[in-house]
Amino acid sequence: MAFREIGIMDIWEVLRRWYNHQSISQIAQALGYDRKTVRRYIRFAQSKGLSHNRALPPKEEVLDLLNGIEGVGGRTPQARSILDQHLAELVDLVGDPDLGLPPKLAFEALCERHALAGRVSYSSFKRFIQTHRSAFHPEQVTCRIEVDPGSELQIDYGRVGVIYDPLAKRRRVLYVFVGTLAHSRHKYVELVFTQDQTSFVSSHVRMFEYFGGVPRRIVLDNLKAGVITPSLYDPHINRAYQELAEHYNFFIDTCRVAHPQDKGKVERDVRTVRQAVRKLLVLNPGSSIADLNRLMKHWCIEEYGQKPHGTTREQPYVVFTERERPLLKELPLDRFEIAEWKQATVHPDHYIQFKGKPYSVATAYIGKKVWIRATEHILQVFSDDRLIKQHVKRKVFRHTDEADFPENIRAVLDSGLHKHLLSRAEGISPHFHRLIRGLLEVHAFINLRKVQGLVAIAEREESVLVDRAAAFILEHRLNVHPRVFRELLAKLRLQEQVNEPPPISQETLSFVRDVSYFIRPQEGHQ
C-alpha cells in the first residue's frame, strides 16, 4: 500500500470507527490504510485508557490525547516521483506487442537504463503499478456488488437543464440530488438550484427524514460540496459534511477519481431521474421547484418504486419497507443544526471577513489561516481544530471584542477616537464626512492615522474647498492619502484664483460710476 500522510483528524476517524465495532481490516479497507497502521493507533489509544468498556470521550478530549503521538505527519514519496518520470517508458516496455516484458523484468531493465538501483525498491514499484493499473491494463472488467440492507447509500448530482424560476423571476440552472439505497434501489430525489455545501448538507438532512433512518455508510464521488481535495489515499472531506457524518453516525467512503463505476447504482439512476424530471416539466409547465419536488417524491414511491427493478427483479419501495428500513440506524433525537464552514485569514487589523462583515480575533492569530463555523446566530473561529473565538451574530456591520486588541488600541477604542473623528468630519462638510466614514469602515485601525491626517488638513482649509476635493475623490474612487489630498486642495485653490476678476486700485475706483449716472432723466423730472 502506497505511503500517505496521516494527521490527527484521520486518527480520530480511525478511533470513531473502532468504537463502532468495525474490525481492523474493515477500517483499513474503508480508509485506505495499512492494517498495521490502524492497529498501531488503536494500541496507542488503549495505552491512554480508551477502550470499548466505556463510551468514546468528547472529540476535544481525544484530540488532546492524540497530540502526544509520534509519527503523525509524513514524508515525500520520492520513489513515486522518480517512477512518474518514466511512466511512458514502462508502459512501452510492458505493452510492446513483440518484445513485451513482465512488470518485474521491465522494472529491472528500467533500473539498469537509468541507474535507479538503490533509489527505488521493487515494493515501491509494485505500489506504483497498482496506482497506474489502467495505464498497464486498459481493459477493465466491472463486477456488480450487492450489499446488505441498510449498509450503503450512494449519492450524486445531475444537471437537468435551464428553467424559469418564478420566485427569482429569471432563468436558472436546475440540478437534481439523488440518493439511492444500494440494497433496495429505493431513492430520494430533490431538485435544487445550487450545489454549495449548505444545500448539500440540507439535502442530506431531508433525505434521512424521508427514509426514516440513516445508513451505515455513504458513497459519493469527489463533489466539491462533500470532498474538497479528491485523492485515492487522502481525500479531504468538507468540514460541514464531516460534522454531519458525526452527528448522524455514518461513515463517508469516497470513490476513486474518474471511476464512476464505484457508485454505479446511483450513476445509472441520475439519467433515469433526469428523464423523469424533464417529463414532469413538460406536463407541468410553470410549476415551482417545491411543486416539482412533491411530484418527484410521488414518482419515487408510486411509479419507480412499484416497478420491478431491472437487476434485482424486485420492487424497490416494497424491498425498502419490508427489509431495509427496519435495519437503518435511528435518527438522532435532536435535529442537525446546519453550519457553514469557511477558511479565512486574520488581517492585520485583527478582523476576519465572513459574508461581508468583519469579526475580531485575538492578536496572536494575525496572519494565520483559521476556520469559520457559522450558524444562524453564532459564529465560531477555530485554529488547529480548537475553538479560539465566538461571536453572537447581531444586526451590526462590525463585530468587535475589545479584549482581542492590545492595550494601545484598546485605549483608542475606550476613548471613542473613531466617533470623535467622524464628528469632526461631519462638521466640516457632507462629502468629507462620507469620505472619512468610508475609510474607517474598510479598516478602522489601519486607516486611523490616515484619517487623522486628513481631518487635520481639512480643518485648516475652507469647508467649500474641502467639500469639492472630497466629492472629486469619491466620484473618481481615488486612493486618498494626506499628501494627495493636500495637492488636490492646492490645485482647486489655484483654479479658483484664475477665475477671479483682476484686482482694482483706489485711483481706478474714483472713475467708477453707478449705472444711474448713464441714464438720461425724463422730461419733467430732475
pLDDT bucket at 185, cuts 50 / 70 / 90:
very high
pLDDT tens column, 244-294: 999 999 998 887 666 667 777 888 888 899 999 999 988 888 888 999 999
39-43, 84-88, 321-325, 403-407 — most confident range: 321-325
Instruction: Determine which of 13-22, 148-157, 230-239 has the lowest per-residue pLDDT on average.
Output: 230-239
Please give the pLDDT value at position 1: 45
Asked whether the predicted pLDDT for residue 302 surpasses 90, the reply is yes
Please give the pLDDT value at position 4: 59
354-359 long-range contacts (CB < 8 A, ≥24 apart) are: 354/379, 357/397, 357/398, 357/399, 358/397, 358/398, 358/399, 359/389, 359/391, 359/399
Q: Which grid coordinates are listed for 489? A: 486642495
Asked whether the predicted pLDDT for residue 51 surpasses 60, the reply is yes
Contact 182, 208 (CB under 8 A): no
- Mean pLDDT over the full length of the chain: 82
Q: Is 341 exposed, middle or buried (0-12, 13-18, 19+ CB in 10 A)?
A: buried
SS3 374: strand
Q: Which grid coordinates are listed for 80? A: 513515486
Give backbone dihedrals phi and psi of 341, rounded to 5 degrees, phi first.
-105, 145
* Percentage with pLDDT > 70 across the chain: 83
Please give the pLDDT value at position 28: 87
Q: Is 204 exposed, middle or buried (0-12, 13-18, 19+ CB in 10 A)?
A: buried
Please give the pLDDT value at position 415: 58
pLDDT bucket at 55, cuts 50 / 70 / 90:
confident
pLDDT tens column, 412-445: 555 567 777 888 888 888 888 888 888 877 766 6
4-8, 218-222, 381-385 — most confident range: 381-385
pLDDT bucket at 232, cuts 50 / 70 / 90:
very low
* Percentage with pLDDT > 90 across the chain: 26
Please give the pLDDT value at position 316: 94
The single-letter code of the amino acid at 243 is E
Reported pTM: 0.56
Instruction: Determine which of 124-133, 330-339, 362-371, 481-490 has the lowest per-residue pLDDT on average.
Output: 124-133
pLDDT tens column, 380-402: 999 988 999 999 998 888 888 87
- Sign of the four-CA dihedral 515, 517, 522, 525: positive
pLDDT bucket at 228, cuts 50 / 70 / 90:
very low
- Sign of the four-CA dihedral 275, 278, 283, 289: positive
